[in-house]
Amino acid sequence: MSPAIKFALPMLAAAGSAYGTHTATSTIQNQGDATGIASCKTFSGSIAIKTDVASPINLDGVKVIDGSLEINNNSAIPQLGADSLEEITGDFILKEVPSLNSISMPKIKQVKAIRWSGLPNLRALGFGGPVEKADVVIIENTQLVNLEGLNLSSVNYMLIANNQLIDSIDMKLEHVDESLTITANSPELKVTFPNLVWAYNMTFRNCSTVEVPSVEKLNNSLNLIGNVFDSFHAPNLTELGGALAIVSNTELTNLTFPELTKVGANLQIANNTKLSEINGFPKLKTISGALDFNGNMSKIDIPNLSDVKGTFNIQSTGDVQGTCDDFFKPLKSKGRIQGPFVCKGFVEKPGGEGTDPKVTGNPKKTGSASTANAPASALLIGLAAAFFL
């Protein structure tokens, strides 16, 4: 045997030990199984932790899991650790793991997808990397207090929902290829995406602050529903490919889209009880769907509006009849508004598209409160939900 071959054989053996030969899913039943896996620096295959494991599991030594890591419907495991893990090429799934209270992955930087739900005792992500690349992030029904350990610049799909202790999300995210949804977390949640320039679809519910100062374009829809912020500004948004729904934001008084020229589907502003003026669309020209406003507005000013391709509905408790008669009705008569037309002030119970406005006998004071009737409210929520399903 030549000296070269004598040298190569131990090197190949070492490589085989380092990278492993696993290809299928390996099920861990105890720490002994985990220790055996840890001999592979790169584990080729997926790892599933059995449902009845009740002790901590540490995958120390593994740098790459070339597959998925999953714990599903395990009621007893308390901790999960992987001191050397840098990458999971598949999904990291934690689903219905109520006793899990600690994750320790200090070096992890990349995951294909994070899919976590039903973790009532987990308060920290446990990512020290931080994770800088993930295509999908779904985190629901946890006790996480923040998202420290996630530092993504782009994502395909992100859903952060029903995490009652998360009160701040501040991320350097720049691009969202499919959907960004933040809903039903802490009522004090402050959301900031200072670098976000482009997204396909965004929905924000139950937030106290939403800041997206750099967004220039949305290929689909923007939904602001049931939030408690008093203002929303999109200073650089020029075009919206889909719908814009601003519904049931009870504290909203100021709404500004200074550069927006086109809404590609419906524009709905409904049941924002403190919003008395709609004057934040100075450059808006085209609405390719319906315009549907109802609430307590006393002033509506969209000076450059020249094309509404769908139904036009404005119903308000306030005095907007002059604007209806002097500005919007002429647009309808010129064919600039192509669908059915309703524009009424002093409406007793303002409703959405398709409802019949009942004008009060005695005009109400500008900005006076009105409570939408139950059918109208249900219709509005249904319309808003339809925009982002």
Confidence category of residue 39, pLDDT binned at 50, 70, 90: confident
**359 vs 135, which has greater pLDDT?**
135
Q: Is 12 helix (H, G, I), strand (E, B) or coil?
A: helix
345, two tokens: 């002030």
Rounded percentage of the chain residues whose pLDDT exceeds 70: 87
Query: pLDDT band for position 360 (50/70/90)?
Result: confident
**Long-range contacts at 91-100 (CB < 8 A, ≥ 24 apart):** 91/115, 91/136, 92/68, 92/116, 93/68, 93/69, 94/70, 94/119, 94/122, 95/70, 95/71, 96/72, 97/71, 97/72, 97/73, 97/122, 99/74, 99/75, 100/71, 100/74
The tokens describing 346, both together, are 């002093």
For the stretch 319-351, what's the b/e string if a residue is b when 16 or more beta carbons lie within 10 angstroms of its beta carbon?
bbbebbeebbeebbeeeebeeebbbbbbbebbb
Helices (H), the chain: 3-19, 31-37, 321-323, 329-333, 374-388
**What residues contact 200, with CB distance under 8 A and at least 6 apart?**
176, 177, 178, 179, 218, 219, 220
Summarize pLDDT for 231-287 with one digit per residue, the tens. 999 999 999 999 999 999 999 999 999 999 999 999 999 999 999 999 999 999 999
Helices (H), 281-320: none
Confidence of residue 361 (pLDDT cuts 50, 70, 90): low
Angstrom distance (rounded) from CA 163 to CA 187: 10
Strands (E), 206-334: 209-211, 217-218, 222-225, 231-233, 239-240, 244-247, 254-256, 262-263, 267-270, 277-278, 286-287, 291-295, 299-300, 307-308, 312-316
Residue-averaged pLDDT of the chain: 89
> Whole-model pTM?
0.86
Question: Residue 227 — pLDDT band, cuts 50, 70, 90?
Answer: very high
Domain positions in the chain: 216-389
Whether the predicted pLDDT of 4 surpasses 80: no
Lowest mean pLDDT among 8-12, 149-153, 164-168: 8-12
DSSP string for 316-338: ESSS-HHHIIIIIHHHHHTTSB-
Residue 237 confidence (pLDDT): 98
3-class SS of residue 379 = helix
Q: What is the pLDDT of residue 141?
A: 98
At 359, the pLDDT band (50, 70, 90 cuts) reads confident
Q: With bands split at pLDDT 50, 70 and 90, how would you rate the model's confidence at 78?
A: very high
pLDDT at residue 380 above 90? no
For residues 141-162, average pLDDT: 97
pLDDT for the residue 35: 92
